[in-house]
Every structure is written in structure tokens, then in C-alpha cells.
């Protein structure tokens, strides 16, 4: 069996599961490059052959349209796995490292090796991508993997449990379904790495549990990702910016994404124009309700409803605000200058509500950002090179993207991850391989040459020799060794 059904998970002795997986890892099967490549090919087949099934479960869990599901999960994920297949041989090869002349003859290598048995907690908003992207990296690195899908996306969780054993090595890859209690039981055991994607609250619990076994942890957490919108030179540029803002807010799981735009910063003078362009473009983009995902469940719907229940916040709504509890849908909503101390401006929104905060000068946005926790991403639409430089140099975030938003998530050539309160650890592309690898240093020396000044009994002459070694003064060292002074 390659999966553990939810109804059995509570009674399962996870210690036995982890022990069995360690035996498989110790057998050495996952270290073979061909085995790793076969697992990646299996993931590609899964994405190709089960594409329609994936669309179905994402629609059931989140109301995602097949276009959004392909763009954000199936398509981008297949591209990433194929990239790993094409580059794995180079990534897994030992890298030569420099050795100083004084060590001659010697060679130094950095050898990537798998960590062992790793645990991946995925999140419900991108339930296919956030499970299979790190899984592909862990398998490429040669690890045994347990995936714990989110119970809040039950159809996707069941799909992964049923299909991963059919396409991957069922003895080396396990899917464990269940709720928070199952996650807690899994964390009672020793893992060689844990990756968790989700809320800061649960992330703290994961770290606390991991500390018992000194298990290394990577956390991908949420944050309030800001978007700076500067004056742009033309109506066309402004329209492109608005298109991309809408795509990064309402077209990605209805704003229920850790890298979605959380709020906009714009100059007072430009705010009315921006709002009108957002209104007209929203109307043009979302001509049918099914083009935007729904809110996950009643609990999250109520949380968003409560954000708007604050009278001060409700008074700031300039567009939208309609809520339908029967369909768990919320109209795209724009708010102009809601109170900065309100929940909507202090908590991650994770939904289709977009506050627009005005500043006197666009440069004031940098001071505003520096007063907040470090976000997962900062977005800025501007042609001002000085402003770009200041954002890069004066702020800290997991990533910075200029004149677009969210697309950095799909680039395999750059790392994805947070900093500070938004998490730590980086993956995607080669960085997924490296997240689940240990770079082992290997030094090989000959017994041919021996320098006795390395050893006691000490005298000033030996200390002088060491001084020459540490400043790489080989000419002086040579003369000293042969009894001459230079």
C-alpha cells in the first residue's frame, strides 16, 4: 500500500511506518540516479494521464476553473518536473572545490547526498502544486517521502492517496491522510527534514515538535504581500498593471494564496484612476461566477465576513462587498483607506478583499513597508529605477517582483521562500533539490608530503611557518622550509 486512509490514520502506529521507511532508505535504492529519474517520469505521467481528474478535484474542493487549475498547478508543475529530469544528472554530480597549494597533492569535492526520510505538509489552496513540487525535489534528491495533504481539501487529498502509489514507488513514497491529530502524531517521530506550508500558528507548533528530535524544518508561511503602484507613463502601461494586479489577487484561488497581493499602496492623486480601472477590468474579466474560485469553507467565509463587519472598514468599501453564504462566494471588493489598526490591515486577508492605502508620495511606501513584518513578496509597478533600487536595498522580503505579480512562483531559476515571519527555506527548480540534499564536503589528500610545523612541540619558527601558510605566502614558506630567509 502506498497510502494510509484517513479512517485508519488515528490508529496507525506511525513509529512502525517510519521504521519501515528507514529500512527502505538504508537499502540504498533511492540513491540510484535511474530510480530518481523514474520517479520524476512517474510524476509527469500522473499529471498527464490524470489531468481531468485533477481539474475535477480542484473544482470540488475550491471551485477552481480548469483554466486556473492548469495555469497554477498542473501546467507549472509539469514544467518544473521536466526541468528536474533534464538537469538532475548535473545537479547530482560532485562539484570540484578549490584546494590551497600547501595541501598538494589534494582534491576537494562537494557531494550532494539525500537527507533520508522526509515529511511534507502541503496546504489546501494549491493542494496539488504544494504537495507535488516539494515531493519532486525530495525524490530528485534521493529521499524517502511521506506527504501529508491538507484535510481541508478532501477530494484532492483522496486523489493523491489513491494515485501516487500507482505512479511512484509505493515502498518509498507514502501519503498519510487525516486532520491535525494525524499531523501531531507524525511529528512525534524523528524525520530528516520537515517542510510545512501553512499558517504561522501551526508553523510554531511544527517547530516545537521538531525540536524534540532536532529535526531541521523549512516553513513556508503566509504574510501581507504589498503592491506599490506608481504613476505609469501611458494608459496602456496602466492597463497592463491593472490586469496583472487582478490576476494576482482574484484570479489565484480568489486571493486565498500566500503570495497573492494583500493590499495596494498608491499616491492619493492616482488612487481614483486606479480604482476606476480596477472596477472596469474586474467587470470584463469575471463575466461568469465560475471564473473565480470560491472561499474554502464556512469558517473562512465567516472570517472574511467578520473583516467587513467592522463599521470603520465597511465605510471604506468603494466597490463590491456582496457575500453569498450559499455558494461561499464573495464579490471582488475594493476598500479605500480602511483604518490601519483594523483586522483587515493587521491580519493576512487570504481572500478577495483588496485594501488600497494612499500615500502623499510613492516613496513614502518604503517607510510604510519597513514598519511591517517582512513579507513573502513585495510587488511594485513602476518605471522609476531609483524607486526600484530603494525597494531592493531598503526593504526585506522573500522576493521582489517589478511590473508583475505571482509569476515569480513559476520560475524554476530563482528560489521561492520567505524570510523572518514569512518563513525560511527555499525551493523550486534546483532549489527544491538542494532543500532536500546535504552538501557533503569530501577532501582527499596524499600521504606523500608532510609538514611537521603543524604539530608540537611548538616554537616561534613553527608559528612563523603557520603565519605564512594562512596568508598563502608560499614563496616565503619555501625559503623558510629550506632554511633560507627571504
- Alpha-carbon distances, residue 438 vs 90, 136, 425, 433 (angstroms): 16, 16, 14, 10
* Annotated active-site residue in 133, 220, 267, 434: 220
Cα separation of 124 and 198, whole Å?
9
Cα separation of 356 and 318, whole Å?
10
> Which among 402, 249, 398, 271 has a CA at the least distance from the CA of 331?
249
258 flagged as catalytic: yes
∠ CA 199-177-34, nearest 5°, is: 95
Cα separation of 150 and 159, whole Å?
12
220 flagged as catalytic: yes
* Annotated active-site residue in 123, 225, 227, 258: 258
Residues 6+ positions from 95 with CB-CB distance below 8 Å: 109, 110, 111
> Which among 416, 429, 441 has a CA at the least distance from the CA of 141?
429
Residues 6+ positions from 242 with CB-CB distance below 8 Å: 274, 277, 278, 281
Q: What is the DSSP letter of 387?
A: H
Backbone angles phi, psi at 334, to 5 degrees: -110, 135
List active site positions: 220, 258
Amino acid at each position: 500500500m502506498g497510502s494510509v486512509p484517513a479512517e485508519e490514520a488515528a490508529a496507525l502506529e506511525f513509529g512502525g511506518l517510519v521504521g519501515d521507511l528507514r529500512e527502505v532508505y538504508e537499502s540504498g535504492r533511492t540513491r540510484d540516479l535511474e530510480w530518481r529519474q523514474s520517479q520524476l517520469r512517474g510524476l509527469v505521467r500522473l499529471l498527464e494521464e490524470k489531468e481531468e481528474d485533477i481539474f475535477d478535484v480542484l473544482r470540488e474542493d475550491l471551485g477552481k476553473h480548469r483554466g486556473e487549475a492548469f495555469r497554477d498547478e498542473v501546467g507549472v508543475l509539469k514544467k518544473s518536473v521536466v526541468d528536474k529530469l533534464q538537469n538532475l544528472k548535473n545537479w547530482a554530480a560532485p562539484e570540484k572545490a578549490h584546494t590551497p597549494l600547501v595541501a598538494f597533492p589534494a582534491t576537494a569535492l562537494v557531494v550532494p547526498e539525500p537527507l533520508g526520510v522526509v515529511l511534507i505538509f502541503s496546504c489546501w489552496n494549491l493542494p496539488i502544486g504544494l504537495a507535488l513540487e516539494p515531493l519532486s525535489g525530495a525524490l530528485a534528491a534521493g529521499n524517502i517521502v511521506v506527504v501529508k495533504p491538507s484535510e481541508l481539501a478532501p477530494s484532492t487529498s483522496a486523489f493523491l492517496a489513491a494515485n501516487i502509489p500507482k505512479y511512484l514507488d509505493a515502498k518509498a513514497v507514502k501519503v498519510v491522510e487525516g486532520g491535525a491529530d494525524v499531523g501531531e502524531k507524525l511529528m512525534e517521530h524523528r524525520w530528516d527534514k520537515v517542510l510545512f506550508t501553512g499558517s504561522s500558528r501551526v508553523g510554531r507548533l511544527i517547530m516545537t515538535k521538531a525540536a524534540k528530535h532536532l529535526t531541521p524544518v523549512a516553513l513556508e508561511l503566509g504574510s501581507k504581500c504589498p503592491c506599490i503602484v506608481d504613476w505609469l507613463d501611458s494608459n496602456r502601461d496602466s492597463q497592463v498593471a491593472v490586469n496583472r494586479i487582478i490576476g494576482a489577487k482574484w484570479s489565484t484561488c480568489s486571493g486565498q494564496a500566500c503570495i497573492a497581493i494583500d493590499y495596494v499602496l498608491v499616491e492619493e492623486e492616482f488612487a481614483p484612476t486606479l480604482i476606476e480601472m480596477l472596477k472596469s477590468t474586474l467587470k470584463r474579466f469575471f463575466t461568469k461566477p465560475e471564473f473565480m474560485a470560491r472561499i474554502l469553507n464556512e469558517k473562512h467565509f465567516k472570517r472574511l465576513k467578520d473583516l467587513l463587519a467592522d463599521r470603520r472598514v465597511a465605510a471604506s468599501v468603494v466597490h463590491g462587498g456582496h457575500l453569498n453564504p450559499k455558494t461561499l462566494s464573495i464579490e471582488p471588493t475594493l476598500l479605500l483607506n480602511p483604518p490601519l489598526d483594523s483586522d483587515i490591515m493587521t491580519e493576512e486577508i487570504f481572500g478577495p478583499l483588496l485594501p488600497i492605502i494612499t500615500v502623499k508620495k510613492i516613496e513614502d511606501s518604503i517607510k510604510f513597508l519597513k514598519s511591517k513584518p517582512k513579507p513573502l513578496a513585495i510587488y511594485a509597478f513602476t518605471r522609476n529605477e531609483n524607486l526600484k533600487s530603494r525597494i531592493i536595498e531598503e526593504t526585506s522580503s522573500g522576493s521582489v517582483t517589478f511590473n508583475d505579480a505571482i509569476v515569480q512562483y513559476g520560475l524554476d531559476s530563482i528560489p521561492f521562500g520567505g524570510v523572518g515571519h514569512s518563513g525560511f527555506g527555499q525551493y523550486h527548480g534546483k532549489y527544491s533539490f538542494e532543500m532536500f540534499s546535504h552538501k557533503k564536503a569530501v577532501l582527499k589528500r596524499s600521504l606523500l608530503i608532510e609538514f611537521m610545523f603543524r604539530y608540537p612541540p611548538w616554537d616561534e619558527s613553527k608559528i612563523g611557518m603557520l603565519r605564512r601558510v594562512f596568508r598563502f605566502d608560499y614563496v616565503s614558506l619555501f625559503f623558510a622550509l629550506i632554511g633560507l630567509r627571504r
